[in-house]
Structures are given as C-alpha cells and as structure tokens.
Chain A
Amino acid sequence: MITALRWLVFAVAALAMNFPILVTLATSFKSARELSTNPGLWVQAPTLANYLAVFQVTDRLNIALYLFNSMVAALTGTMLAVVLALPAAYAIARGRVGERTLLPLIVNLRAVPLIIFAIPLYMMFQWLALLDTRLGLGLILTIVNLPLALIILVNAIRELPAELDEAAQIDGAGRTRTLVRIIAPMCRPAIVTSLIFGFITAWNEFLFGLMLTTSKAVPITVGASFFFAASGGGVQWGVASAVMIVGALPPVLLGLVMYRQISGSMTAGAVKG
C-alpha cells in the first residue's frame, strides 16, 4: 500500500519537474496545423518537419552555427579549466602552496554572482578584440568551471597515498614529471568527472553568451532565445520546440549516461566547498 503511494508520488514529481521538457518534446513533433487545434500532450500525427526546418539557415538565424559555437566554447572552457586546475590542485594538495589563500578564494568564487565581473570583462574584451569570438566565450566559461574543477581535483589528489610521490621523488623525478606520469593517470576518474560537469555547465551558460556575443559566436542558449524574438508576434512553436530539444540534447545525453559520476561530484562540491 505504502509502496503504491511512493510510486504515485514519484510519478507526480517526475511529471511536474520534467513537464516543460515533455511539452516541448511533444510540440516538436506536431505539424503547424495540429498546433493550432491541439495544445495537449498527445501528438495525433507526428511529423519530423520541424527538425528538418531547424537546420535551414536563414539570414537571421543559423542554428547549426550556434550549436557549433556552443560546442567549441564549452570544450575550450572545460578543458582549459582542467589544464589550469590540475597542476594547481597538485601544488595545493601536496606542496601546501596557496592552501590558505588561493583555494578558499576560488571556492568562494562559486558563490559570487559573476555578473559583477561582466561589465569590466566586456570592456576588456572590446580592447582585446575578443567580443563575439568562440575563444573569448571559452575563456569566460573557464572561469565559471574553475571552482568545481579545483575542488574535485584537490579532493582526489588528497586521497592518493603520499608514498606514491615519495617513491617517484626517490627515483629522481621532479614534481612536474611526477604529476604527469603518476598523479594525473591516478586521478583519471576525477578528471573525467570535472570534464563532464564542466561541459554541462558551460553548454548551459547564458548570461555571458548574451553579453559577449552578437552574431558570429552566439551559443545555442542565446540563439534559441533569438528565435522567439526574431519571429515577432507569430512564433513558429513547432520549430522553436525542435530547436530547444536539439539545444538541450548534448548535456542531457551526457548527463543521463554519466549520472552516477555527476551525483557524486555534486555532493562533494556542496559539502566540502
């Protein structure tokens, strides 16, 4: 009896929390004609026309480009964050360098509203000609990803036995060599977790994409919102829905495949940060 009630609560919660996604998914398979007559969740005559329309380039909208921009900027922001954080995490965990200053500073960065840096960054990017570039957006996404990457990697390195380093030291390897040859391979699960988490965060970022890009480097989160503005009063809801589904797919697929790693790192970041 109580088990049935639990299943009922699960079903209601899952439906309520995923409701916008389900509605958008259903709408993306509706024809324009069905849309005007059937606002419900059930699709009477499913069609793929909306998905084909997504990739038709118009002079104002280029969804394929937005997807490409998101991919390049998110990969840049994800990998650069790990490349910067891994050696620093090693220095913090083993060398006690910056343990009292650098680590708390970056950890607290996660709680600071990043908009306070947005205006100077906008001006700086103007001087450096980084406005509306994928590289520029990738650099900002690196800042967004750094705190969690550093926390995950410091925790992982602290859990490795110190004898590993000492043995390498005795064999005459320098710190850098030890990091590359021994520590990094041992931390592979933590590195993968930071990459997955970073990619999802970076792909889903909106504020800096909105501020720092205008046309050439627009990411999909911002491009999808153009879609609503560009079509004026009459939004093509079917195509708009298909755009949103396509734009949500990469992080959702990654998240569904790797949800165990993600749930673990979310807890680590929340409790130890």
Chain B
Amino acid sequence: MTTTSPSARTPEFRLLATPLVLFLLVFLGFPAIVNLVYSVSQVSFETLRSPQLSGFSNFAAVWNDTSFWRSVWFSLRFGALTALLECGLGLFLAIFLSPLIVKRSWLLAILMLPLMVAPALVGLMYRLVLHEFVGPVPHYLWIWFGTGVSFLGPGSAFWTLAAVETLQWTPFALLLFYMAYQAIPADIGEAAAIDGAGPLRRLWRIELPLMAPTIVAALLIRFIDGFRVFDNVYVLTGSGPGGATASLSIYIYEAFFKQGAIGKAVAASVLLFAASFAVLYGLNALATRRKGATA
C-alpha cells in the first residue's frame, strides 16, 4: 500500500500528464463534439462546415431503418456466439493441453500464431481457403464427401464468418485460461486430492471457481471484439449477401462512405457510443460494488 500525501500532487505531475490529456482532447474530445453536433444537424459533403440544426430527424431515420436493427442483431448474435465458442474451446484446450505446454512452452507459440496475423489478412486468406476452384476446403469436401457447400452464400455466411472469427481468437482465450490455470497454487489441488477428490471433481469444485474472474473477463473482451467486428467480415463478404452480414461497424462505414448519409452514420455512431457508455458504466459500478462487498 503506497500512501502519498496530498502535497505529492505537485504541479509537475500535472505537467507530466498534460501531453496525453491534450492529445486525447484533440483526437477524441473534438470528434465526440463533432459527432454530437452533426447528429442533430442536416449535413452533406457540400455543407460540411455549415451544418444546419435539424433536431432529431437523423436519429429517427436510424431508428426506423430496418437495416440498422438488422446490423445490431447481427453484431449481438455474432459477439455472443463467438465469445462462447472461443471461451469454451479455449478453456478445454488450456486445461487439457497444459501438461504438454508446461514442459514445452514453445507449443504456446504455435498456438498463439493466429493472434499475430492481421484479421483483415486472415479474412483474405479464407477467400483462398474457401475458393471453389483453388481452395483446399471445397476440394477435399468434394473428394471425400462428394458435396459442395457455398460457404459465403445466404444461409451459411453467418456461420462461416463465426467460424473464421472463432478459429483466429480461440488462442486468446486459451492463453488467458492457461495463465490463470497455472496460477492456481499446487497445494490446493494436493490437499483436495488427499481428501479423496477426483480430477473432475477438483476441476469443477476448485479450479473452475478460482478461474471464474478470468473466464468472465475473457467472455466480456471477446464479446466486445465480436460485437464491433469489421476487418474479416468486410474483406470476406463486404456486407453481403444482401446486407445479411453487415455488423454495426460495417453499417456505419457504409452509411458514410457508400451512401454519403453523414447524418445517419453519425447518429448511429452516437447511439453506439451511448450504448457502450451505458454498458461500461454499469460494469464498472458492478465491479466496484463487488470489490466493496468482498473487502
């Protein structure tokens, strides 16, 4: 516990934090204000510098846009499904493979490799992997099972994208869980073993509860990343077929760059900002209360 007297808040400390604060004001504070102003204005690329206040018509346009709600639904489903799959697979692999990894840590490097590659490049790589003529997956499916699947077609695009995301980010969950698993003190398991608890019982009653905070954190991080997904979806399907795979990020991007609907794009950004703020605020409040309860 470090105790710092109030006199330690010298002006020099404030000065040291100033560059960061200024940087944030320019690159996040100013854009946030522009967002708010433009969201209640009528703007186009011609009238960028003289927006006309127009009330909440932009928000109404977004609110009544079925493709907005479709993209919200896509992002929620995509985030929830991939977070659950990644954490489930990651947890199994972390625990089942830990006897191998403990002795040879370089195995971890092989499993972590997908995390180092840009999601956009991984998405492009799957264009090759799934290609009907040069891709190995359709090739072997045809040779071994005699069937062809349209991986990015209307019925299957969502599942293909979820699989692509899951395969790339399961290593992240695996890594967090492996670290948490290794951090469990060995004597806890030994004591339970002496009391006659089998491995499965120890896992369920002791190890998993001890890893619970990490599991919750991993689920949360992966949900957020899946919810805001852009790169791999954009390069694999754009938003197609027929807008079926537009995430919220892609909705905002297309409203701005493809349709030139600045007001709509900005209003959707503000809604997303408000939603993230509400969720984060709620989580922080929850975390502080729990800390207060256990202290």
Contact of B128 among A3, A24, A97 (CB under 8 A): A24
Cβ contact within 8 Å between B114 and A35? no
Decide yes or no whether B152 CB sits under 8 A from chain A. Answer: no
Chain A residues with Cβ below 8 Å from B84 are none
Cβ contact within 8 Å between A121 and B111? no
Cβ contact within 8 Å between A162 and B2? yes
Pick out which of these stretches binds chain B: A51-59, A60-68, A185-193, A200-208.
A200-208
Task: Report B147 CB to chain A, min CB distance, Å.
Answer: 16
Bound state CA distance, A146 and B124, in angstroms?
28
Cβ contact within 8 Å between A18 and B110? yes
Decide yes or no whether B241 CB sits under 8 A from chain A. Answer: no
- Binary contact readout B205-230 vs A (1 if CB under 8 angstroms, 0 otherwise): 00000000110011001001001101
Known contacts A20-B129, A207-B230; is-contact A108 B139 (Cβ 8 Å): no
Interface majority SS (helix, strand, loop, mixed), chain B: helix
Bound state CA distance, A57 and B35, in angstroms?
40
Q: Which of A88, A105, A205 has the most CB of B within 10 A?
A: A88
Bound state CA distance, A24 and B112, in angstroms?
18
The count of residues in chain A whose C-beta lies closer than 8 Å to any C-beta of chain B is 100
Q: Which of A100-119 contact B (CB under 8 A)?
A: 102, 104-106, 108-109, 111-119
Pick out which of these stretches binds chain A: B54-62, B154-162, B189-197, B252-260.
B252-260
Cβ contact within 8 Å between A21 and B113? yes
Q: Which of B89-138 contact A (CB under 8 A)?
A: 93, 96-97, 99-100, 105, 107-122, 124-129, 131, 133-136, 138
Known contacts A115-B249, A255-B112; is-contact A267 B179 (Cβ 8 Å): yes
B residues engaging A (CB < 8 A)?
Answer: 2, 4, 8-10, 12-17, 19-21, 23-24, 27-28, 30-32, 34-35, 38, 48, 93, 96-97, 99-100, 105, 107-122, 124-129, 131, 133-136, 138-140, 167-168, 170-172, 175-176, 179-180, 213-214, 217-218, 221, 224, 227-228, 230-231, 234-235, 248-249, 252-253, 256-257, 262, 265-266, 269-270, 272-273, 276, 280, 284
Q: A19-B167, A118-B269 are in contact. List 17 more A-B contacts (CB 8 A).
A: A23-B129, A39-B133, A40-B140, A41-B136, A91-B14, A95-B14, A106-B24, A120-B38, A124-B30, A175-B16, A204-B117, A228-B235, A263-B112, A267-B175, A267-B176, A267-B179, A270-B218
A residues engaging B (CB < 8 A)?
Answer: 3, 6-7, 9-10, 13-14, 16-21, 23-24, 27, 35-36, 39-41, 83-85, 87-88, 90-92, 94-98, 102, 104-106, 108-109, 111-124, 126, 139-140, 142-143, 146, 150, 158, 162, 174-176, 179, 200, 203-207, 210-211, 221-222, 224-225, 228, 237, 240-241, 244, 247-248, 251-252, 254-256, 259-260, 262-264, 266-267, 270-271
